[in-house]
Amino acid sequence: MGRRARREGVETAEWLQMLRRMLRAAGRRVGDADEVELGMLLELRHDLDNAIAEAVRAQRDRGASWSFIASATGTSRQAAQQRWGEKVSA
C-alpha cells in the first residue's frame, strides 16, 4: 500500500511532534519530582503500547497491508503481524 491521502483537517504529524515535546518535558519534570511521579511516567509506556496497537488496527481496517505496517514500524512483515495481529487460539 502506497502513501494514502490524509484525512482533511487532520494535522497528525504536527500533533505527534507536540506530544513528543510534552513527553520530553515530562521526563525533565519528573526528574525533579519523587517516586510517585516516576511511577506515573512509567505507566505511560502501557498507554503508548495500547495507542500503537489501536493505530495498527485502524490502519489494517483501512486496508493497510502487513508490509506497509512493517515498513512504518521498522520491522519485518512477519514480526509486525506477530506483534499486532489477531491472536488465534489453537
Query: Residue 26's pLDDT band (boundaries 50, 70, 90)?
Result: very high
Q: What mean pLDDT is predicted for residues 41-69?
A: 95
Residue bearing the bigger pLDDT, 2 or 21: 21
Q: Which three cell numbers stand for residue 57?
A: 488496527
Q: Which three cell numbers stand for residue 68?
A: 506497509
Q: Which three cell numbers stand for residue 45?
A: 509506556
Mean pLDDT across the chain: 88
Residues of the chain with pLDDT > 90, as a percent, come to 78
